[in-house]
Amino acid sequence: MGIKIDTVIDLLNFYKALGFKEIPNDFLKSLLKNSNAKSVKTESLLNSTVNIQSKKNNENLSKISIYNDDFSVSFGHEKNSAIEKLNQEIKECKKCPLSNSRKNPVCGQGNINAKLIFIGEAPGIDEDLQGIPFVGEAGKLLTSLIEKMGFNRQDVYITNTVKCHPPGNREPFESEIEICFDYLKREIEIVSPKVIMTLGKVATYALMEMKSKLKEIKISKIRGNVFFYRKIPVIPTFHPAYLLRNRKDKWLTWEDAQEALRRLK
């Protein structure tokens, strides 16, 4: 048994979607080597990806615990102070020009022991006013996805790639994403989730550690695949604001959510 050809094609398409024109020799060698192996741990391939479209989706969702089992009370105290310190830094942050136009910086929200993190793009107008992530129309859709997955909103952790609202609701610039990334990195370290879902291309770009160009990322091509950020599986999916305009693609996000649920088990 080797790697399924479909998986290899998905993998190559994934890199193509990222804008790669060639694949490194070492990567190809590792693919070929693994294709002769008796059983292949696809995850061990260089940031490898797996196609998730064809998997069954009849699991009993309600059995999944959303909290980290290995979380201990003593570490809980450290986690609380680490997140408080981080949020305080965000509230005072002036590291990028978005600090000039924001009304309120928007820190992450939810359970710091959650096994699942959702990462959006940037606070919108409602979030800027309230200082809370995903409270507008897109937020309502995200909340209904979380509930459909069998959780409450306060059980998961929700955050954004950049913590301040870009003027005119524009997409954050690569430079802003890069400057703000340290906060997201620290949030992920503190929560240490089992699974991350990135909502849209900005969050996906950030968790790919900004290795390609933002404009080369096509979420419609990347979604359906899993990649890894510091060994944590990342499931990219559409941004809820996109789904509000393209309701027919909601079922694809539901497929992605089911992959997340499988990995939470």
CA dist 32 and 24 (Å) reads 13
> Residue 223 CB, nearest distance to ligand URA (Å)?
16
Q: In what order do the strands lie in the sheet with 195-199?
A: 109-110, 157-160, 116-120, 195-199, 232-237, 227-229
Selected from 11, 90, 135, 195, the binder of ligand SF4 by CB under 6 A is 90
Q: Is 162 in the site for ligand SF4 (CB under 6 A)?
A: yes
Q: Is 99 in the site for ligand SF4 (CB under 6 A)?
A: yes
Residues that bind ligand URA (CB under 6 A): 120-124, 127, 133-134, 136, 138-139, 160, 241
Q: Which two tokens stand for residue 132?
A: 């809370």
Selected from 93, 195, 196, 261, the binder of ligand SF4 by CB under 6 A is 93
Which residue, 57, 244, 10, is CA-closest to 145?
A: 244
Mark the segment that binds ligand SF4 (CB under 6 A) among 18-26, 136-144, 145-153, 173-181.
173-181
Q: Is 264 in the site for ligand SF4 (CB under 6 A)?
A: no
> Residue 106 CB, nearest distance to ligand URA (Å)?
6
Residue found under tokens 């193509």: 16
CA dihedral 3, 210, 126, 133 (to 10 degrees): 60
Which residue, 138, 210, 207, is CA-closest to 173?
A: 210
Residue 22 DSSP code: S
CA dist 46 and 29 (Å) reads 11
Task: From the list ligand SF4, ligand URA, none, pick the one residue 93 interacts with, judged by a Cβ distance below 5 to 8 Å according to partner type.
Answer: ligand SF4
Of how many residues is the chain composed?
A: 265
Q: Which is nearer to ligand URA, 124 or 224 (CB)?
A: 124
Provide DSSP, 66-86.
-B-TT--HHHHHHHHHHHHHH
Task: From the list ligand URA, ligand SF4, none, pick the one residue 90 interacts with, judged by a Cβ distance below 5 to 8 Å according to partner type.
Answer: ligand SF4
Mark the segment that binds ligand SF4 (CB under 6 A) among 69-77, 135-143, 145-153, 156-164.
156-164
Q: Which is nearer to ligand SF4, 10 or 176 (CB)?
A: 176
Q: Which is nearer to ligand URA, 8 or 122 (CB)?
A: 122
Backbone phi, then psi, for 51, in 5-degree steps? -75, 135
> Residue 255 CB, nearest distance to ligand SF4 (Å)?
31
Question: What is the CB neighbour count within 10 angstroms for residue 168?
Answer: 7
Q: Is 86 in the site for ligand SF4 (CB under 6 A)?
A: no
Q: Is 186 in the site for ligand SF4 (CB under 6 A)?
A: no
* Binding residues for ligand SF4 (CB under 6 A): 90, 93-96, 98-99, 105, 162-164, 176, 179-180
